[in-house]
Structure 1
């Protein structure tokens, strides 16, 4: 008997509530509203929504917004930006969950993925985010305590504040 949770399309998807960092909670526990999947947003809407979630200390949810942009972006030109930003957000998620190895690895991977992008695509401060990611990855990899996701949230359009 298959008792896995399924979404409306029949795909396996846990119905357990999640906390702000995307960790599953027990069934029936209050959780954070999930980001709907497959939402097509303009680049500006993507940056605004992801920034809102990052500022709220919910980088896992921001990662899902970037993932939607990555999967729905027309052509391949914007994919490296959205994929790299998704990796930065999930790196922050792991760092905030107390997983320094995974956090540092994903922060470095995301930084490497966006590092060569020209200018400020969609207003995103690529150079500032690369600096932020590498600095945070270094602190996390050195075995520091789990980070506060809201306090460490980057400014997508302006690097660190």
Structure 2
């Protein structure tokens, strides 16, 4: 299908919670195809639908050679103590900050046919599951940073050429 452009921090769609997907609704297979094509670009671990301008609850992932998608994901389990992990975001290009994440995460959702999908993992997969689910809830990772780091991140964002 299509590699879609990524919306950047400051775009209102990134600050709005996405709507649940109605399985079987027109255009959902095309959305999934676009998410899959977009996440396959080099250096991408995940793409949420609102990052490509669609306010629906779906994301694709590309972690350790495993590429897939999930519709209507909800985090159903996290484990361990939150740790600060260097994290970046396609919607905040060129910047990365220590972000509090659980070392294990599990999400549950469905595929385009309504079949249950469960994704879980540690490390980068856990980070991606939390990061993309946050996007679908209208939260860009820089808003989850500790206060001093968030101030630093927002100042750096304002100085980026892409922000203006």
TM-score, normalized by the shorter chain, greater than 0.5: no
Greater fraction strand: 2
Which bracket does the TM-score occupy, shorter chain normalised? 0.3 to 0.5
Between Structure 1 and Structure 2, whose CA radius of gyration is higher? 1
